[in-house]
Amino acid sequence: MPELPEVETTRRGLAPLVIGRRVSAMYVYDRRLRWSVPSTLPKRLTGRKIDAIDRRSKYLLFRSSSDTLLVHFGMTGSLRAFSEAPPRTPHDHVDIVLDSGVTLRYRDPRRFGAILWVPHPADAHPLLAYLGPEPFDPVCDAAYLHAALRSRTAAIKLALMDSHLIVGVGNIYATESLFRARIRPTTPANRVSKARLARLVTEVRETLNEAIAKGGSTLRDYVDSRGEPGYFQLHYYAYGRNGLPCRVCGAAIRQIRQGGRATSYCPRCQR
DNA sequence: CTTTTGACCTGACAGC
DNA sequence: TGCTGTCAGGTCAAAA
């Protein structure tokens, strides 16, 4: 799933269900995620009150008296809330039961996700400590990117997906943001002008906001906390449109590989 | 320091 | 109907 809009959509759906509730039980059916779910986690979590649910990058953070339960969705993870938990299906790995009776069910076919306990202070955790700014953070502006990319010869698309520079932008939204900013994804990062970086930041924010408004993108696995798909995939300009006519100029969308991932762009609109 | 590559894992799909 | 190869929303770790 799961780039920033999908994680944020899940966060917003879960917030009213979890804030102020206590965990009455946690069941780990398969601990083999990207990192093993700690065997002590059910004991640590049970009885805890969840004070808040935050998002940092693509991590969901359940806050409990300054300690944090961290959840990441990898490529295929989802977290759904059930008032009555149905029978488990394959790839349902973890259940968290709240004192309201609601069950949060973590599903992740490829098991690239993570569920970890992060003691206070959470910001010091290695997974969180080296992250770049959030795209919506005012700090993350053209001046910041211009300075950060000064010594970067790698392609702008790869830089945009580097979480040390800016977080939350994965393959779909990097592809779409570069289309909207009319920037060729292969352009060396340090050769994108400050003015064009300003446009890029604007388009990244706009693209992410529109995607959040549509409930994220559902290509295959992603569903939100209520099991509903997102609809932003209907609004793609470039991603997954190899060979199809550009929705702006009609030229055939082209697909290449960068860093082992597919990149699609319009050879006429993006220069 | 930056950049590139491989690794993790399952399922869907195309082609033979 | 199998079988094989390729691809998929992420990102860490190691090597260059």
Mean pLDDT per segment of 10 residues, for chain A of length 271 residues? 93 98 98 97 98 98 96 97 96 98 98 97 96 98 98 97 98 98 98 98 98 95 92 96 97 96 97 96
Q: Which nucleotide is nearest to A221 (CA to C1')?
A: C9
- Give the pLDDT score at A1: 58
Which nucleotides in chain C lie less than 7 Å from some protein C-beta?
A: 7-13
Contacts for A182 with CB less than 8 Å, ≥ 6 apart: A199, A269, A270, A271
| Contact assessment for residue A151 and residue A190, using Cβ atoms and an 8 Å cutoff | yes
Asked if A210 is an active-site residue, the reply is no
Predicted structure pTM score: 0.97
- Give the pLDDT score at A270: 98
A211 touches strand C (CB under 7 A): no
| Contact assessment for residue A174 and residue A166, using Cβ atoms and an 8 Å cutoff | no
Q: Which nucleotide is nearest to A233 (CA to C1')?
A: C9
Tokens describing residue A136: 């919506």
- Give the pLDDT score at A57: 98
A260 touches strand B (CB under 7 A): yes
A110 touches strand B (CB under 7 A): yes
Cα separation, A206 vs A27, whole angstroms: 39
